[in-house]
């Protein structure tokens, strides 16, 4: 599969986003019927995508009696803040602990993973050394090995060195992003000119310093994309923490909510906490996506133009 | 100056005694090591070693002296793999996810392609809103999405109880497709964006001429755009195939909503439940077979589509 990937991405003139967002007014050629059809399709699916989240939002504002007694898709008494306070106090605030754990696993893990994947991809794109193609092909194979397939063997190894049920059991494996290396390589090949590295050399800058001061800036859109993908992958990761962790205090928020949800039948009042917790847990990701959307929109394309 | 005089054309550049075969000197060796080593080391530790260790574990069997004797691991050759191939529930679970994928992946990617083409066409207004609205579910982790939809499916709690009281989405017949809907809901927007951003990379001139010739939007999409974005579609298909075979979080969550989801519902659930028995050697063999199947299937798909394109 290396044959197709080796060629750097062709840097085509991209139509700017602003240009695409406000196209010239549709001419008479576009029939009103086709435009209405398009709008109806998109409208129906907007409901499909947003109604579940809307329901969750509404459900999180209700107290227990109103959850079943009132219109599920519209507000009754607004108890959102009381509910959040109750959630954060439940079992000594273990939910907040889970949220912090997730932030630490995903934030810290994705940051380190991005830097080391960026360095490796950059070296693969910009230096010649023996074993370079072999390394790249092995890494590409790694893209096709799903993280879940590694969870059990990782558990067996970590239990040999008594590291299961620790922070590191979930954190360390999250630092590896083969897809990040792949993306960093094609992006570095296309966006970091050799002349610039040469110029930095003539100025007496070391290779490593050049990477951190010059090249990294040019690779920034790709690095942001790698960071986001890795952040989401770690935040959503379920199998690894499920198999590694026993201690509730180490859980990420996904595992914690899963554990609560499987107790709903025994402890009915926990259902409200599951719903409010679910709502709160998706807000950080939505915020990150909104803040960084300028970057990932462009970076996503780079990965797909093989 | 004088320096070139030292290297006369006759003078051997490298003494033959020191290097048995000619080797190009690697420039910036230290820097390259500094760049490659951190990733290389972690990749070896958390990718290659686990794969090797899983294969090693899968070749062992537990042996006991008598019924209550001390258990010890001895080399058992392919014993575990024979057990894997005789294990009916495991192959049922493989067949189940393949059925799932054969329906869910085309539906999901078909929708993603349709939305991407609509976003890219002059037919639609309010693109920024739709793009964001369709992408929001991707911010919902699989576990959370499954919990949410579990409530939406439930006959009593669902806001659509007039539907769910009549159709039991959590029954043995339908629960697989109920899970397929959760996966589709999460990933359509993500795939849509990958396809859409490769549509953005097509130069407009390519279809301006077609528009002047009177080609409609559907004709342009079918004959110009789709062939050009095929690599992006192939990429999304491969990631979807991998994701399907690895299905775990959603069915695991659905176990608390529906008794129809058994502990061997998907291959990864089988791995998990086998390892909690605990029978690590058999679980390792399951893992190896599953990883191999995933790798072969996605690789075969890649080769297949490449050959088709070459024609």
Please write the tens of the pLDDT for every residue from A194-238.
Answer: 999 999 999 988 999 999 999 999 999 889 989 988 999 999 999
pLDDT of residue A25: 45
Domain ranges, ordered by start, for chain A: 32-78, 84-304
The C-alpha atoms of residue A244 and residue A222 are separated, in whole angstroms, by 31
Mean local confidence (pLDDT), A37-55: 95
Answer with the residue of higher pLDDT: B301 or B115: B115
Give the CA distances from residue B146 to residues B66, B152, B183, in Å, rounded to whole numbers and listed in that order.
Answer: 46, 10, 9
Taking a C-beta distance cutoff of 8 angstroms, is the pair B53, A157 a contact? Answer: yes
pLDDT of residue B17: 45
Token pair belonging to A181: 């290396």
**For helices A270-291 and B142-153, what crossing angle results, to 10°?**
130
| B122 contacts A38? CB cut-off 8 A | no
How big is the CA angle at A152 (ends A148 and B274), to the nearest 5 degrees?
110
Q: Taking the CB of residue B135, how many other CB atoms lie within 10 A of it?
A: 21
- pLDDT(B143) > 90: yes
- Contacting B residues, span 148-207, partner chain A, CB-CB under 8 Å: 148-152, 156-159, 185, 188-189, 193-195, 197-198, 200-204
Q: Taking the CB of residue B168, how many other CB atoms lie within 10 A of it?
A: 17
pLDDT of residue A299: 54
Nearest to A140 by CA among A2, A33, A303, A24: A2
| B35 contacts A38? CB cut-off 8 A | no
Q: Which residues contact A178 (CB under 8 A, 6 or more apart)?
A: A117, A139, A140, A142, A143, A145, B43, B47
- pLDDT(B267) > 80: yes
Domain B81-310, CATH: 1.10.3720.10
The C-alpha atoms of residue A135 and residue A175 are separated, in whole angstroms, by 18
**For helices A109-126 and A132-144, what crossing angle results, to 10°?**
140
Q: Report the residue of A276, A304, A305, A306 to disrupt the B interface, i.e. the one with the largest count of B CBs within 10 Å.
A: A304
Category of A24 on φ-ψ map: left (φ > 0), alpha (ψ -120 to 50) or beta: beta
Alpha helices (H) along B221-279: 226-228, 230-245, 249-254, 267-275
Question: How many residues belong to chain A?
Answer: 306
Token pair belonging to B238: 């491969």
- pLDDT(B157) > 90: no
For A287-301, how does the pLDDT look when each residue is reduced to its tens digit (9 = 90+)? 888 887 777 665 555
- pLDDT(B183) > 60: yes
Chain A: closest CA distance from residue B291 (Å): 6
- When pLDDT is cut at 50, 70 and 90, the band that residue B90 belongs to is very high
The C-alpha atoms of residue B134 and residue B126 are separated, in whole angstroms, by 13
Token pair belonging to A20: 């695409």
pLDDT of residue A4: 34
Token pair belonging to A168: 């590191």
| B299 contacts A254? CB cut-off 8 A | no
Q: At which residue do the structure tokens 């397929």 appear?
A: B180
For A123-148, how does the pLDDT look when each residue is reduced to its tens digit (9 = 90+)? 999 999 999 999 999 998 888 787 77
The set of long-range contacts for B210-213, using a CB threshold of 8 Å and a minimum separation of 24, is B211/A29
The architecture that CATH gives domain A84-304 is Orthogonal Bundle (1.10)
The C-alpha atoms of residue B47 and residue A147 are separated, in whole angstroms, by 9
Q: At which residue do the structure tokens 């240009």 appear?
A: A19
- When pLDDT is cut at 50, 70 and 90, the band that residue A98 belongs to is very high
The C-alpha atoms of residue A280 and residue A292 are separated, in whole angstroms, by 20
pLDDT of residue B255: 94
* Segment among B40-54, B128-142, B157-171 with least mean pLDDT: B157-171
B71 beta partners:
B64
The C-alpha atoms of residue A233 and residue A229 are separated, in whole angstroms, by 6
Q: Which residues contact A294 (CB under 8 A, 6 or more apart)?
A: none
The C-alpha atoms of residue A184 and residue A195 are separated, in whole angstroms, by 19
pLDDT of residue A260: 95
Token pair belonging to A291: 């803040």
**For helices B29-43 and A109-126, what crossing angle results, to 10°?**
130
- pLDDT(B10) > 50: no
The C-alpha atoms of residue A223 and residue B218 are separated, in whole angstroms, by 36
For B200-249, how does the pLDDT look when each residue is reduced to its tens digit (9 = 90+)? 888 888 878 888 888 888 888 888 899 999 988 998 999 899 899 999 99
Mean local confidence (pLDDT), B185-204: 90
Taking a C-beta distance cutoff of 8 angstroms, is the pair B58, B84 a contact? Answer: no
- Contacting B residues, span 271-300, partner chain A, CB-CB under 8 Å: 271-272, 275, 280, 283-284, 287, 290-291, 294-295, 298-299
Q: At which residue do the structure tokens 């273990």 appear?
A: A94
Q: Which of A56, A119, A278 has the CB atom closest to B39's CB atom?
A: A119
Q: At B61, phi and psi to the nearest 5?
A: -130, 155
Q: Which residues contact A59 (CB under 8 A, 6 or more apart)?
A: A67, A72, A275, B151
How big is the CA angle at A301 (ends A300 and A305), to the nearest 5 degrees?
130
Kindly tell me the sign of the dihedral angle through the C-alpha atoms of A237, A240, A243, A248.
negative
- When pLDDT is cut at 50, 70 and 90, the band that residue A29 belongs to is low
B64 beta partners:
B71
Listing DSSP states for A271-285 in one string gives: HHHHHHHHHHHHHHH
Q: Report ipTM (2 d.p.).
A: 0.84
| A21 contacts B128? CB cut-off 8 A | yes
Mean local confidence (pLDDT), B276-295: 91
Q: Is B8 on the interface with A (CB under 8 A)?
A: no
Share of chain A above pLDDT 70, in %: 87
Q: Which of A41, A59, A154 has the CB atom closest to B50's CB atom?
A: A154
Question: What's chain A's average pLDDT?
Answer: 85
- pLDDT(A180) > 70: yes
- Contacting B residues, span 68-107, partner chain A, CB-CB under 8 Å: none
Taking a C-beta distance cutoff of 8 angstroms, is the pair B49, B31 a contact? Answer: no
| B36 contacts A176? CB cut-off 8 A | no
Q: Which of B156, B194, B280 has the CB atom closest to A156's CB atom?
A: B280
10 Å CB burial of residue B184 (0-12, 13-18, 19+) is buried
pLDDT of residue B309: 64
For B18-42, how does the pLDDT look when each residue is reduced to its tens digit (9 = 90+)? 444 445 577 888 999 999 999 999 9
Listing DSSP states for B148-205 in one string gives: HHHHHHSTTT-TTHHHHTTS-TTSTTTHHHHHHHHHHHHHHHHHHHHHHHHHHTS-TH
Q: Which of B28, B134, B255 has the CB atom closest to A45's CB atom?
A: B134
Token pair belonging to A224: 């942001």
Q: Is B239 on the interface with A (CB under 8 A)?
A: no
For B36-67, how does the pLDDT look when each residue is reduced to its tens digit (9 = 90+)? 999 999 999 999 999 999 999 999 998 877 77
The C-alpha atoms of residue B136 and residue B113 are separated, in whole angstroms, by 17
Domain ranges, ordered by start, for chain B: 29-79, 81-310
Name the strand (E) or helix (H) holding A300: helix A293-304
The C-alpha atoms of residue B273 and residue B283 are separated, in whole angstroms, by 8
The C-alpha atoms of residue B108 and residue A197 are separated, in whole angstroms, by 43
Mean local confidence (pLDDT), A179-208: 91
């Amino acid at each position: 599969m290396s044959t197709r990937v080796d060629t750097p991405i062709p840097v085509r003139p991209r139509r700017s986003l602003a240009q695409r967002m406000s196209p010239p007014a549709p001419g008479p050629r576009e029939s009103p019927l086709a435009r209405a059809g398009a709008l109806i399709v998109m409208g129906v699916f907007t409901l499909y995508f947003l109604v579940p989240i809307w329901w969750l939002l509404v459900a999180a504002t209700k107290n227990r009696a109103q959850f079943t007694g009132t219109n599920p898709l519209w507000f009754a008494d607004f108890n959102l803040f009381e509910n959040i306070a109750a959630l954060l106090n439940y079992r000594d605030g273990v939910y907040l602990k889970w949220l912090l754990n997730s932030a630490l696993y995903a934030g810290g893990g994705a940051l380190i993973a991005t830097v080391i994947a960026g360095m490796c991809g950059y070296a693969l794109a910009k230096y010649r050394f023996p074993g370079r193609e072999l390394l790249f092909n092995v890494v590409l194979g790694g893209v096709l090995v799903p993280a879940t397939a590694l969870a059990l063997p990782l558990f067996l190894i970590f239990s040999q060195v008594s590291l299961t049920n620790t922070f590191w059991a979930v954190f360390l494996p999250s630092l590896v992003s083969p897809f990040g290396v792949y993306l960093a390589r094609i992006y570095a090949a296309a966006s970091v000119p050799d002349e610039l590295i040469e110029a930095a050399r003539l100025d007496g800058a070391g290779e490593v310093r050049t990477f951190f001061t010059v090249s990294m800036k040019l690779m920034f859109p790709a690095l942001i994309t790698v960071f986001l993908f890795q952040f989401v992958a770690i935040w959503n990761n379920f199998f690894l923490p499920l198999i590694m962790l026993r201690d509730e205090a180490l859980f990420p928020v996904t595992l914690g909510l899963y554990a609560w949800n499987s107790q709903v039948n025994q402890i009915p009042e926990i259902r409200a906490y599951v719903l409010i917790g679910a709502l709160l847990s998706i807000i950080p990701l939505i915020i990150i996506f909104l803040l960084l959307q300028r970057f990932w929109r462009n970076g996503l394309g780079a990965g797909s133009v093989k | 100056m004088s320096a070139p005089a030292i290297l006369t054309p006759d003078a051997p550049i490298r003494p033959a005694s020191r290097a048995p075969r000619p080797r190009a000197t690697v420039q910036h060796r230290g820097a390259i090591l500094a760049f490659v080593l951190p990733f290389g080391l972690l990749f070896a530790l958390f990718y290659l070693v686990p794969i090797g260790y899983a294969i090693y574990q899968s070749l062992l069997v537990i042996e006991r002296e008598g019924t209550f004797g001390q258990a010890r691991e001895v080399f058992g050759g392919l014993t575990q793999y024979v057990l894997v191939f005789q294990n009916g529930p495991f192959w049922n679970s493989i067949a189940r996810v393949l059925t799932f994928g054969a329906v869910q992946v085309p539906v999901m990617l078909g929708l993603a392609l349709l939305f991407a083409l609509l976003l890219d066409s002059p037919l639609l207004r309010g693109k920024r809103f739709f793009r964001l609205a369709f992408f929001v579910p991707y911010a919902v982790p699989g576990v959370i999405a499954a919990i949410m939809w579990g409530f939406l499916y439930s006959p009593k709690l669902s806001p659509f109880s007039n539907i769910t009281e009549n159709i039991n989405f959590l029954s043995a017949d339908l629960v697989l497709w109920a899970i397929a809907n959760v996966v589709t809901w999460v990933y359509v927007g993500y795939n849509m964006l990958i396809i859409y951003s490769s549509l953005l990379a097509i130069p407009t001139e390519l279809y301006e001429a077609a528009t002047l010739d009177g080609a409609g939007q559907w004709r342009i999409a079918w004959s110009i755009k789709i062939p050009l974005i095929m690599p992006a579609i192939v990429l999304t298909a491969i990631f979807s195939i991998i994701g399907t075979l690895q299905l775990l979080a959603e069915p695991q969550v659905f176990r608390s909503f529906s008794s129809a989801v058994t502990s061997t519902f998907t291959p990864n659930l089988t791995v998990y439940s086998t390892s909690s028995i605990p029978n690590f050697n058999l679980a390792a063999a399951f893992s190896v077979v599953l990883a191999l199947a995933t790798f072969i299937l996605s690789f075969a798909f890649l080769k297949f589509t490449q050959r088709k394109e070459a024609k």
